[in-house]
Structure formats: structure tokens, C-alpha cells
Amino acid sequence: MKYMFKKIEPKWQAKWEESKVFEAKDNSDKPKFYGLVEFPYPSGAGMHVGHIKAYSSLEVISRKRRMEGYNVLFPIGFDAFGLPTENYAVKTGTHPRIITDENIKKFSNQLKKVGFSFDWNRVIDTTDEDYYKWTQWIFLKMFEKGLVFRDRTLVNYCPHCKVVLSNEDSQGGKCDICHSEVVQKSKDVWYLRITQYADKLLEGLKDVDYPDNVKQQQVHWIGKSKGAFVNFDIDGIDEKLEIYTTRPDTLFGVTFMVIAPEHPIIDKYKDKVTNMDEITAYRNECAKKTEFERTQLVKDKTGVCIQGLEGINPVNGKKIPIYIADYVMMGYGTGAIMAVPAHDQRDYDFAKKFGIDIIEVIKGGDISKEAYTGDGEMINSDFLNGYTKKKDSIERMLEELEKKGIGKAGVQYKMKDWAFNRQRYWGEPIPLIHCPNCGVVAVPEEELPLRLPDVKDFEPGEDGQSPLAKIDSFVNCTCPKCGAAAKRETDTMPQWAGSSWYFLRYTDPHNTQALADMDKLKYWMPVDWYNGGMEHVTRHMIYSRFWHHFLYDLGVVNTPEPYAKRSIQGLILGPDGDKMSKSKGNVVDPLDIVEEYGADTLRTYVLFMGDYGAATPWSDSSVKGCKKFLDRVAGLTDILSEEPVSDELEMKIHRTIKKVSSDIESLKFNTAIASLMTLINEITAEGHIGKEDLGIFIKLLSPFAPHLCEEIWEFLGGEGLLAVAPWPVHDEGKTVSKTVEIGVQVNGKVRGTIVIPNGCEKEKAFEIAKADERIASFLEGKNLIKEIYVPNKIVNFVAK
């Protein structure tokens, strides 16, 4: 048969849809498999080849699982709130609802054209009010449990997008959305207390199967640090300055202190400070810098010595100067540090610049050149002198500090609480009310969903207020507690809200009573395998693990961890090896490939192109190669024969079953496809193939190229749909060759080779060897002294 993809692809897509073969069953006795891919943001640009690669791994695994007899949940949905749609709405005056619906339609059609085996009956749209009702519900539960709080703080603000950004969304001092420069701005911010779950998020990593680098990134992001809080007296004032340090063992080496420019102690004692003007000027300079700039390890440190305040080192009573400097952050630890220039490079650079003493307390380095951060013998440190292990000196110092009541052990996290509001329209309204009498009050649960009001103008207010603030009918309400006239919160939730629990909704997408029914959750959760990008390993995965742990504590879900296993796809680069981007003009449209070569070719190619986890450049010629391979597969139907295949080919078929089955499980799709390509060469060389063996071949290929394989299956008269036909199982006995070729030595020299039955007895091997003419000639006229046989390897005769 000819590979007529234009004809067969729509045909099988229609059959799959009609037969509901990809719909997951809720009440099934079969074992379950829940495969999850990161649902797309339905942008106007439509699908990218990167989406195809990202979904193809679990597409292949889900298809294999169905054939192995599992009840498979492989869902898709749309993470549809967010800025690009809103910016487009502002630009065109079209309502985001309309834009979103159009984009979702476009995406769905594209996904269907590629033949993904998603359960289209469970599609989720995070902007659907029946969905975001539950996003708001979870938020209210967090509010109820004290995990929501409001604080006025300096925030990362993008003047272009007019939104507050979390640290993660403004890495490198640039807005994650529009890449403009981020500025610092004082704002009221709603926070989710994710730090309260820091330890659970760390602990939970022990129970999940994530790649090591994924775990490491999460551990690093959480950034747990063990150290000590120590109180320093301020000379002449009844006030303590508390610092956080990871190195209390170096306390005798402290020669100054540094506080963050925003530290409140300055204003509290401004009457005592004699250089307030200089300090104010410095603080104004600092306010212009982003946190990113401030944490860079630049040698040239800046700062101002506070005249009029002096600290006292609690372990030796020495007076030390206090500086303000921007390398100390207000948001970490206590916003104040004890500086040990001999053993901390930042402090060292600072001390050199400001001419401050450097006291060595750990032997081993050369402090005339740089700070020494290694281990060594303690010196100049009173009761710590002679200690050689950091761990022991820290322990001894902590004991001392606790005994004297001047310090205690403590932990800190790099992770900050999650800034959870945006001043934008296209997001979930935050269901809170500001009442003049009662303060902040929750919208009653039965009033959920709190719907987004219809507006005409999506432009945020110039003062950085949400567009919702301009809608009086939305803002004005009555307090649910006391009935007084009150005002609604007008900020909306960040992009990351809807994706923090979507995998739960797939288990029961139409439920109106709960976010999902407990029995269904118990059947489907946890997600067995979640594939996605490295860029979502911190933000999205940490946020969703946090929500899931919270829901677990609430008793709403049945497992603490949502994802049992995680894998990562590598990027698809442009043909030139650069990142694909519109501006570079090297973007490949997947639909163009479907149009020209067929969906099966596209699917096969994105998994054949290289290591699944690696970044790989696009290659048109390799796409064509995949197309040719599928042409040859179609051609196998022309050499069908009842003649049995050779033992050799049978062995290769069984070896291929074994290899494809195991390669798929370890995401080695490229080698799985390559082994099918090799097998087709073997079949072609043989010249014919039986129905049953061709059936095996297309079963193995079907997760990659399902349309063509269904077509061949039908041609062969296969029963039902190939999509649920049983996956082939190899016979281990048939994977080994029936014969082996081995060398024969006479007196230690190889004199020839013989073919013996695989694993044959030694007497038989000797018999075959002696019968070999060449070998016999070497033995002629000699006495055999010894016969040696290493099974399947070698025969050696010793003769004189």
C-alpha cells in the first residue's frame, strides 16, 4: 500500500473520536495510568513544534499503556488567564473572553490534527467560571487557615506591563513577560505563606521520582540555610540589633556590622545619627537598584558608616562600627549581618575599601589576598582556639550563645512568600472584601464564583490599579459580616494560580459540588508521570506542590505529593542551532509539516531527532528521512507472504520487541525508532514477512505513527482498533541466536572458526571442531594432550 497520509489521518482521527477509545473510565477494574503534560497557554500564535515534542513522550507512553491493558487518563486543557491575551485585548479592543475562545479552538484543532490521544471529554479551561470557582475556593481556604496576608513592601514592578512581579518572575532584573527593566515600588501585596510549607516541600522530594537536577533546582530554590540569630548590643542604647549568620563560629573575627539600607533601626535613632544626610542620599541611590543588581558579587562595594551608633560584639565586648550597604538585603534573615572580613569575601571586599580591620580566626588561607572560607584550626577565638572542625566549633559557640541568652540556632529560607496579586483584568478575582468595620472579609463560599465583571476598558489605571477598580458596580458591595457598605478587592490572581491544581480537576472535570470527588481522586491520584520543561521545575512545580500539600492537610486530596514521577523534554532549536524565535525567523510551524509530510512523520521526527532530554536543532532532511521510513513501512504490505521467516529474522523481531518496549520506558525514543528502522532493513533483505510479524511491527510503531499503523492493522484484518490491541511481548528464548561462531585454537594459536549450536555441550563442540578440515590438518599426526572449551567463546586443543 502507499502511505497516503492525507486520506488516512482524518479517517482515523474521526474513528478514534467516534469510538471514544481515548476516554478514561472512572469505574474500572483495570490498573490506572495517569499521564500528564503541561497544559498550554493558548496564545494567538498557535502551536509550536516545542509543544509537539513536549506532549509526545507521554503520548507514546499513554498509547503503550492502553495496549498493555491500563485504564489511561491522558488529559489536556488550557491555562488561559494571563497577560499576552490581555495586552492583545487592550490593543484591539476585543474582549479577552473572545480572544481566548478563538485561541483555544485553534489550539484544539491543531492538537487533533496531530492525532494526540487526549481525552477530549475532560478539557479544562482555567478561565471558565466553573473552574475558577474552585481556584477561588482554594484561596479562601488558605485565607481561613491564615496562609493569606497583606503587607506593604517594596516590590519588583514592571512599568510596561504595570504589574508587580515575584522574584522568580523578574530574574536578572527583567520582566519575565516583556523583558523590560524592573523597578522597585512600594505597594500593598497579598502574599501566600508558602514558606510555611518549605520543610514539607523539601521532605516530599524524598518520596518522588524526579531527575536529580530537578530535585536540586527545587532544593536550591527553597534554599534552606541553617545558622544562628545573634543579638548585638548597641552602645549607649537599650536596643539590640539582631543578625543572622551561618557562621557563628567566626564571631571573634567580627570587625563591623552591616544593615540593609531599608533597615528600620536608622529611622528609629535618627536623632543620634550625625550623618543622616549622607545616609539618606545613599538610601535613595539604593532604591533605584533591583535586588538582582544588589546581589551581584561585584568587588566594588558601596556603603556608608553610620556615625553615632556603634555595635558591641557579644563574645568579647569590643566596639565595632555599623555600616549601611546594599549588599545586605532587608528581605533575608534579619536584614543585618555581623561582618567577618577574614572569612567572607563580600565582607573582605568591603573592609578593604573602607579600611576596616581584618582579624583571622581560622588558619589555612592567605588573608592578605582574599577571604579564607575553608576549614582549619581556630585562632584568636578564646574558648574556640584549637578546634579544627567547623561543625564542632559552631556547636560549641551555639552552646555558649544559648547559655548567655544572646543567640540561638535558627533556619532561614531563600524562598520568599508568594506575592499573589496582579493589577490586571484577565485573572481570577480575589474573593475578598474590605469592610470599614470588620477589616478584610472573605466572600461567602456560596457566592463563588466571584465572576469577572464585563468591562469595556482593559487598560490598567495609571496609578497601577487594576481595571476592575474602575467598575463601581463591582467594587461597591455590602460586608457579608456586618452589612455595612464595603469595597471589593480589585486585584486578580497571578498567572500561576490556575495551574496550581488543574491536574486534580481532570479526574472529575464536571463536578459542581467539589473541586473533585474523593473517590475519583483516590482512583487517579497521584499523577503517575508528569512531563514538562525545565523552566517549570521551580515556579509552577513548587507552587502546585505547595497547594497540593495544603489540600492534603485540609483532607481534600488523598496524597501529599501530586506527581510521582517527572521528566523533562529538551528544546527544539532552529535549523541554525539557535533558539527558535519569531524575531530570528527560524520558527517551524508544526502544521506545515503535517500538511507536507503528514502528522505521523512529524510525530516520528520529533522523537527521532535526538536524545529526548537534549536541545536539538531542527533538520528538514531528517524529517524527509522519517517520511521515507513510513513510506517503506506502508510498502511492507506488498511483501506479505505465508512463507515462514528465517530464524535469524525471528530473533531480530523478538530483540526489537524487547528493545522498543524498554527504550520507550526510559524515554529513549530515538533508539526505539532507530531499531525499527534497522528491522525494516532486515525484513526487506529477507524479501517477505508474515501477517503476524507485520502486526507486531506496526504495534511497536503505533505509538509514534498511529494513523498509518491503524490503516495497516485494518488492511491485515486486525481485530478492533490497534490503539487498544495488546502490546507485543517478546520471548526471551527467541532473542538469542540459535547458533554462535567461535574460534578454535591449536596450541594457543587461532587456526579457524566453527559454528556451533548456542550453548552446546563441550563434547559436541570438540566434535565439530575436529571435523573442520582446516583444524584437522593442524592436528594431524599429533597426540591430543588437552581439550579446553569456554562455552560460546573458544575451543583450544593442546597437541604434541
Binding residues for ATP: 582
CB of 320 to ligand ANZ, least distance (A): 13
Which secondary structure element, helix H or strand E, spans residue 185, and what is its range?
A: strand 183-192
- Mutual angle of helices 647-665 and 49-67, in 10-degree steps: 120
Q: Which of 343, 545, 654, 668 binds ligand ANZ (CB under 6 A)?
A: 343
Closest approach, Cβ 372 to ligand ANZ, in A, equals 9
Nearer to ligand ANZ, 326 or 528 (CB): 326
CB of 243: closest distance to ligand ANZ in angstroms?
7
- As measured in angstroms, the least distance from the Cβ of 187 to Zn ion is 24
Reported residue count of the chain is 800
Site string for Zn ion, 259-288 (x = CB under 5 A): ------------------------------
Cell of 761: 555441550
Q: Which is nearer to ligand ANZ, 346 or 707 (CB)?
A: 346
Query: What residue 435 binds from ligand ANZ, Zn ion, none (CB within 5 to 8 A, per partner kind)?
Result: Zn ion
Closest-CA residue to 434 (of 480, 388, 493, 492): 480
- Report what 332 binds from ligand ANZ, Zn ion, none; CB cut-off 5-8 Å by kind: ligand ANZ
Shortest Å, Cβ 279 to ligand ANZ:
18
Is the alpha carbon torsion for 387, 390, 393, 396 positive or negative?
negative
Residue closer to Zn ion, measured from CB, 479 or 537? 479
Q: How many residues bind Zn ion (CB under 5 A)?
A: 7
Cell digits for 412? 532561614
Contact yes or no for 694/653 (Cβ under 8 A): no
What minimum distance in Å lies between the beta carbon of 477 and Zn ion?
10
Cα dihedral across residues 208, 209, 212, 215: positive or negative: negative
Integer Cα distance of 686 and 640 in angstroms: 11
How many Å apart are CA 56 and CA 606, to the nearest integer? 8
Footprint on residues 639-678 left by Zn ion (CB under 5 A): none
Pick 333 or 532: Cβ nearer ligand ANZ? 333
CA distance 369 to 179: 39
**Binding partner at 246 among Zn ion, ligand ANZ, none, C-beta below 5 to 8 Å by kind:** ligand ANZ
Rounded Cα distance, 393 and 399, in Å? 10
From the list ligand ANZ, Zn ion, none, which binds 343 (C-beta under 5 to 8 Å, kind-based)? ligand ANZ
Q: How far is the CB of 346 from ligand ANZ (least distance, A)?
A: 7
Other beta carbons within 10 angstroms of residue 555's beta carbon come to: 8
Contact map string, positions 404 to 423, toward ligand ANZ, x by CB under 6 A? --------x-----------
525 binds, among Zn ion, ligand ANZ, none (CB under 5 to 8 A by kind): none
- Report the C-alpha gap between 533 and 57 in whole angstroms: 12
Q: Does 487 bind Zn ion (CB under 5 A)?
A: no
The binder of 479, among ligand ANZ, Zn ion, none, by C-beta within 5 to 8 A per type, is Zn ion
Indicate which of ligand ANZ, Zn ion, none lies near residue 571 (CB less than 5 to 8 Å, by partner kind). none
Min dist CB 12 to ligand ANZ, Å, is 56
CA distance 625 to 537: 34
How far apart are alpha carbons 367 and 360 in whole angstroms? 7
The residue written with cell numbers 529538551 in the block is 570
Angle, in degrees to the nearest 10, between helices 49-67 and 599-608: 90
SS3 420: coil
Of 289 and 770, nearer to ligand ANZ (C-beta) is 289
Residues 299-338 that bind ligand ANZ (CB under 6 A): 328-329, 332-333, 335, 337-338
25, three cell numbers: 473510565
By beta-carbon proximity to ligand ANZ, the closer residue of 245 and 656 is 245
**Residue from 482, 518, 614, 750 that binds Zn ion (CB under 5 A)?**
482
What residues from 220 to 279 belong to the interface with ligand ANZ (CB under 6 A)?
225, 244-247, 250
Work out the angle between the directed axes of helices 706-715 and 691-701 (0-180°, nearest 10).
160
> What's the min distance (Å) between Cβ of 295 and ligand ANZ?
8
Instruction: Report CA-CA distances (Å) from 37 to 57, 64, 95, 113, 575.
Output: 9, 16, 28, 18, 26
User: Toward Zn ion, which CB reaches closer, 482 or 614?
Assistant: 482
Can you tell me which of 438, 534, 740, 794 binds Zn ion, judged by CB under 5 A?
Answer: 438
Pairing of strands 566-568, 529-532: parallel
- 691 CB neighbour count, 10 Å cutoff: 15
437/758 with CB nearer Zn ion: 437
Say which residues have a Cβ less than 8 Å from residue 261's Cβ, sequence separation at least 6: 282, 283, 286, 287, 324, 325, 326, 330
CB of 479 to Zn ion, least distance (A): 3
Question: Shortest approach of ligand ANZ to residue 257 CB, angstroms?
Answer: 10
Q: What CA–CA distance (Å, rounded) separates 190 from 149?
A: 6
Which of the listed partners (Zn ion, ligand ANZ, none) does 438 bind, with a CB threshold of 5 to 8 Å by partner kind? Zn ion
Question: Residue 184 touches which of ligand ANZ, Zn ion, none (CB < 5 to 8 A by kind)?
Answer: none
Count of positions on this chain that bind ligand ANZ (CB under 6 A): 17
Among 259, 435, 634, 742, binds Zn ion (CB under 5 A): 435
Q: Residues forming the annotated binding site?
A: 582
CA–CA separation, 219 and 535 (whole Å): 15
Host H or E run for residue 629: helix 620-635
The Cα diameter of the chain in Å comes to 119
Q: Report what 481 binds from Zn ion, ligand ANZ, none; CB cut-off 5-8 Å by kind.
A: Zn ion
Task: Give the DSSP H/E element, type plus range, for residue 87.
Answer: helix 83-92
Q: How far is the CB of 440 from Zn ion (least distance, A)?
A: 10
- For residue 32, the surrounding DSSP H or E stretch is strand 32-37
CB of 315 to ligand ANZ, least distance (A): 13
Residue with smaller CB distance to Zn ion, 284 or 437: 437
Report whether 423 contacts 465 (CB < 8 A). Answer: yes
Nearer CB in complex with Zn ion: 214/433 = 433
Choice between 441 and 591, CB closer to Zn ion: 441
CA atoms of 460 and 374, how far apart (whole Å)? 52
Measured at the CA of 57, the angle between CA 51 and CA 63, to 5 degrees, comes to 115
Q: Do residues 742 and 757 lie in contact, with contact meaning Cβ atoms separated by under 8 Å?
A: no
Q: What distance, in Å, lies between the first and last C-alpha atoms of the chain?
A: 65
The residue among 332 and 669 lying less far from ligand ANZ, judged by its C-beta, is: 332
Residues that bind Zn ion in the complex, under the rule CB under 5 A: 435, 437-438, 479, 481-482, 484
Residue numbers of the site for ligand ANZ (CB under 6 A)? 225, 244-247, 250, 328-329, 332-333, 335, 337-338, 340, 343-344, 412
